Structure 1
Amino acid sequence: MASLAQRARLLIRFPRPQICAQCRRSFGSTPFLESGHNKWSKIKHEKAAADKKKTMMRTGFSEEIALHSKLYGPDLKFNPQLARLVSEARKSSVPKAVIETAIARGQGLSSEGAVLENVTFEAMVPPAIALIVEVETDRKPFYTQEMHNAIKKAKGGLSTSKFFFTRVGRVTFGKGEGEGAGVGVDDIMDDAIEAGAEDLNHDADGNIVVHTQPTQTRQVCDAIAAKHDLRILSSGIVWVANEDTKTKLNSSVASIAFADMLDAIRDLPDVQSVYSNVSRGDNMTDEEWARIAENLDVY
């Protein structure tokens, strides 16, 4: 047997190889995961959620700013509602370019000052689903081609469809501030009816929705918002599908194709609204219907 002195000399000449912690053989059955893997995955999900929330916030501000610019003018000095919205948007870190573009769009102009054209596309998709898409753009030829391509993938085509719908004025009032904090349908009903309202209700978010004749839309805005300290979230003329023309979409394959088409249309930046006479089929899942409904302005 080698003496201690001989062993020491051998270790000096032939040192034992050093094995890093990650290279050691594990006697357990659980596979080794590098540190930080799960953490990075969580960070990516959190960032995606934060980005989506930020985009929705900016979109909301853009729509409201454009609306108030259209209703009461682009000058902040003479449009206190617009001034308030711009101030709130700045505090929420909405970029200056986004705010300026929204104000210009309210005046029918692009960020470069080009005049925007209101274009309405009508289409029919099997089995008998009508579609109306409203676009505000200075690139009509481009959007005509994009609409054709998107609808064609759902085996449909551009075709007259307005006779499936009725034009209705609609104003959505958000939750009020100050004295308007607890205002509901009953509180504004008399004033709304006097201004021309034909129907009042609450939407899923608790906002007050007022329907009226198209020509009375602006009058309802002016009569209700200031008096009851309510925020105007949206105001315009919408297309509501006639009950006797609504078409159920049952096939899963057809519903996926229709939802894909709506996604493609909604991804186009100048699209303002999408309407359809589609209704939920008997065998359609909640997920399938939600994907369709979230892309429609009225359903």
Structure 2
Amino acid sequence: MSGHSKWSTIKRKKGAEDAKRGKIFTRLARDITIAAREGGGDENANPRLKLAIAKAKAANMPKDNIERAINRGTGKLIDGEALEEFTLEGYGLEGVAFLIDVLTDNKNRTLSEVKRIFNKAGGSLASAGSVAWQFEQKGAIVLAGENLDFDEVFMVAAEAGADDVTNDDGTITVFTPREQFAAVEAALTAAGYTVEESELRWIAKNETEVPIEMAVANMKLMNDIEELDDVQGVASNLAISDDVIAAFETA
């Protein structure tokens, strides 16, 4: 399994604990608000909003919170903060590339916080465009359930336009071009599969292998950045082996 998939598996485990504490509700609400602001409040006509709502429901976010976030985005509720979204680029240790998706009400504060974390770890923020070319954005659809027939999933996904399907210890993830994301998810749902998680991810075109201790340090850096409330997601081109995961989890 590639590094981005391994990191996503770690994040899902961590996200379940964060959800119990309500820690991610602020992020989810902001994502819903800006999706509704840009594409309207009808999730059936707004793929980004539909995705944001699905992620919120997966985290057991209360229905009232979801509706309030939608209304804030459409202007029905006038108590919203002015939100801005952008992507930061940076380098970790040993030249590992980072992309950080941000949604914030204070750009200067967020820049300062991210820069501080990079500097503390021995990395640095990078100029726009210096890192992004090393990534491409793809849809990632994680299917719920055990003992799914991989070949059957592959056939349904491929016919709908998916470009890769992976199986990590029984967890099947379907990857799609950004343009085919909604169509592939709809095809999988129509075929009777339950979607556990679906999101757009930055996927590295090539991964960078570094010594285990440097890989662990980069994973800690990723984790520290993701802890920031304004950060929606972090991607890197770090190659993550099972040995690296074991070292990270015991560090």
Q: Same fold (TM over 0.5)?
A: yes
The aligned counterpart of 2:7 is: none
The aligned counterpart of 1:170 is: 140
The aligned counterpart of 1:149 is: 116
Q: Select 1:222's aligned residue among 186, 194, 199.
A: 186
> CA offset at residue 153 of structure 1?
0.8
The aligned counterpart of 2:234 is: 274
Letter matched to residue 137 of structure 1: T
> CA offset at residue 131 of structure 1?
0.9
C-alpha distance in 2 between matches for 1:225 and 1:121: 34
| Deviation digits for residues 197-220 of structure 1 (CA, Å, limit 9, x no counterpart) | 11112234x333111212111111
C-alpha contact 1:195 1:220 (8 A) present in aligned 2: yes
Distance 1:166 1:290, change over 3 A: farther
The aligned counterpart of 1:192 is: 157
Residue 242 (structure 1) aligned with residue 221 (structure 2): no
Unaligned runs of 5+ in 1: 1-51, 176-180, 293-299
Distance 1:281 1:215, change over 3 A: closer
Secondary structure, counterpart of 1:187 in structure 2: helix
Letter matched to residue 242 of structure 1: K
Secondary structure, counterpart of 1:278 in structure 2: coil
Distance 1:60 1:240, change over 3 A: same
The aligned counterpart of 1:211 is: 175
Letter matched to residue 247 of structure 1: E
C-alpha contact 1:124 1:157 (8 A) present in aligned 2: yes
Distance 1:227 1:130, change over 3 A: same
| Deviation digits for residues 19-46 of structure 1 (CA, Å, limit 9, x no counterpart) | xxxxxxxxxxxxxxxxxxxxxxxxxxxx
| Deviation digits for residues 31-67 of structure 1 (CA, Å, limit 9, x no counterpart) | xxxxxxxxxxxxxxxxxxxxx9664345689989978
C-alpha contact 1:117 1:136 (8 A) present in aligned 2: yes
C-alpha distance in 2 between matches for 1:149 and 1:131: 15
Letter matched to residue 186 of structure 2: D
Matches within 5 A, 1:63-82: none
C-alpha distance in 1 between matches for 2:236 and 2:58: 36
The aligned counterpart of 1:201 is: 166
C-alpha distance in 2 between matches for 1:255 and 1:274: 15
> CA offset at residue 121 of structure 1?
0.8
Identity across the alignment (%): 26
Bigger Rg over Cα: 1
> CA offset at residue 149 of structure 1?
0.6
TM-score normalised according to structure 1 size: 0.57
C-alpha contact 2:142 2:172 (8 A) present in aligned 1: yes
TM-score normalised according to structure 2 size: 0.66
Of 184-193 and 154-163, the range deviating more from structure 2: 184-193
Matches within 5 A, 1:43-82: 55-57=18-20
Residue 126 (structure 1) aligned with residue 93 (structure 2): yes
The aligned counterpart of 1:265 is: 225
Unaligned runs of 5+ in 2: 1-14
The aligned counterpart of 1:48 is: none
User: In angstroms, what is the RMSD of aligned CA positions?
Assistant: 4.6
C-alpha distance in 2 between matches for 1:73 and 1:187: 36
Letter matched to residue 235 of structure 1: E
C-alpha contact 1:225 1:232 (8 A) present in aligned 2: no
Secondary structure, counterpart of 1:192 in structure 2: helix
The aligned counterpart of 2:12 is: none
> CA offset at residue 104 of structure 1?
6.5
Letter matched to residue 210 of structure 1: V
